[in-house]
A and B are shown apart, each in its own frame.
Chain A
């Protein structure tokens, strides 16, 4: 039973990370109707920027928020420069551009920073919290907390601000949005900026666990896809909850189903994607578009 609880707790911890990357994916999907395959590499790149700032002696939280600002600007620029020219092309074109972006960011990071793993600090104290026999890592708890704060911030932004409303409108019905005076192109760019920010948070929370290297997000991105698919690509809250569920399932299946162990864990994520797509394509909390014909 202790093993069970411990596995659930550490599953929630990794799940929080999957959830935050999933949140970034959902952000871009909601703002632009595109699934951004380069999301993981954007997060990795942002984390290297944070590492550079920290190495230059900037205090942690200054570096943290500085990275968020730079990531936002970087995301906006990426959209304007790389995505804009293919904005009205078929979806496959955009997907391929995103994959190209993934490869480029990965190589550029490797070229600048090398492929040697680097330690990345956690802002939370190293002493774990022990309840009975179950150990809670403070970084794990902190990471989940940070993810929930980001989620709450995004929820408030999209629900209660005029800009958030305009972004949702632009994603849904660009033509009608223009007739309301909304500059649709800029809404898409801001969507990319926000997603880059959310990704940066995820990267800075992942790096203390997996160490910083250009490939650190590769596996996590697949778990994030599973999380977003499970929770629903149209539901930010669902994506985070999906992340937590995926984290726990992954750990429990790895522990109790012997032939899976640690080697086949990633397969669990892929199987989950398949099962959700077959039985409930809109995910647990996503909504299928309502149309009245």
Chain B
């Protein structure tokens, strides 16, 4: 049984339907990626999992139906979401941002230990822990978003285009850390990306979306060999 199972998921904003019944799975302990161009419905898919948009269809997490639940409740089940736009609390310090990630776990020594742990992954955040979030660079804010999500000790980590607007070196750094986290802490990852080459290098399994539908899916290694995908998304 997959950790996250999505069947016939539909979503709309007002009268505009954005997802037309999509199916996908995220395997426990794996990295799954959803690829697609702007407007394909990738971000909406993540928002639907977190109860941030009105949906119909079935979403199961560890076997339990979560469709229709509030965002706050979904988070309590162990799904952390580093959202589009990074969601930084710009007037709070880096450390306060991180503590908020652990909000549902209460305070205590546990949280302090986890702060040290994420500072270990992202040393630059440790240097900046007294600065307000709004003063960080784009790359640092993306690291903060991933680090804040980790503070939940999630079973499933949702990442919304972590590479957007960042320099290639920074992107590589962030993806390396995501891979480490996945391997060492057994956190399953659902990664939404436009940058197909980086995402396919990282993921075990991939889905390709176009205008609200899943058009292709398969093991990431296979999709890398797919001629259509290579031409459209990888550019060689």
Contact = CB atoms under 8 A, between A and B. Distances in A.
Contact of B107 (A162, A173, A177, A183): A162
Given A173-B89, A179-B50, A179-B83, A290 B134 contact: yes
Contacts of A180: 75, 100-101, 103-104, 148, 152
A182 B101 CA distance: 10
A181 B88 contact: no
Contacts of B104: 180-181
Contacts of A173: 87-90
B155 interface: no
B86 to A, nearest CB: 9
B91 interface: yes
A91 B148 CA distance: 31
Contact of A178 (B71, B80, B136): B71
B97 to A, nearest CB: 9
A290 B103 contact: no
B87 A175 contact: yes
Contacts of A166: 100, 103
A146 B71 CA distance: 40
Interface in A152-181: 162, 165-166, 168-169, 172-173, 175-181
B72 A176 contact: no
A89 interface: no
Contacts of B99: 162, 165
User: Among A176, A178, A181, A289, which residue has the most Cβ atoms of chain B within 10 A?
Assistant: A181
B89 A172 contact: yes
A291 interface: yes
A127 interface: no
Contact of A290 (B50, B75, B96, B135): B135
Contact of A162 (B88, B106, B132, B136): B106
B141 to A, nearest CB: 8
A292 interface: yes
B81 interface: yes
Interface string A171-212: 011011111111100000000000000000000000000000
Interface string B101-134: 1011011000000000000000000000000101
A165 B134 CA distance: 17
A183 B75 CA distance: 11
B92 interface: yes
A169 B99 CA distance: 11
B76 interface: yes
B115 to A, nearest CB: 14
Given A162-B107, A175-B83, A292-B134, A181 B89 contact: no
Contact of A169 (B72, B83, B89): B89
A165 B100 contact: yes
A179 B81 contact: yes
B69 to A, nearest CB: 12
Nearest to B81: A179
B13 to A, nearest CB: 15
B100 A177 contact: yes
Given A165-B100, A292-B135, A181 B76 contact: yes
A166 B75 CA distance: 15
Given A165-B99, A172-B92, A179 B135 contact: no
A165 B135 CA distance: 19
A290 B90 contact: yes
A291 B72 contact: no
Nearest to B100: A180
A175 B84 CA distance: 11
Contacts of A177: 100
A46 B57 CA distance: 50
Top-8 shortest CB links A-B: A176-B87, A181-B104, A181-B75, A178-B71, A290-B134, A180-B100, A180-B103, A179-B81
Interface of B: 50, 52, 70-72, 75-76, 80-81, 83, 87-92, 96, 99-101, 103-104, 106-107, 132, 134-137, 148, 152
7 contacts: A169-B92, A173-B90, A175-B52, A179-B71, A180-B101, A181-B75, A292-B137
Given A178-B52, A287-B91, A290-B90, 11 more contacts: A166-B100, A169-B89, A172-B89, A172-B90, A175-B52, A176-B83, A179-B75, A179-B80, A180-B104, A181-B76, A182-B103
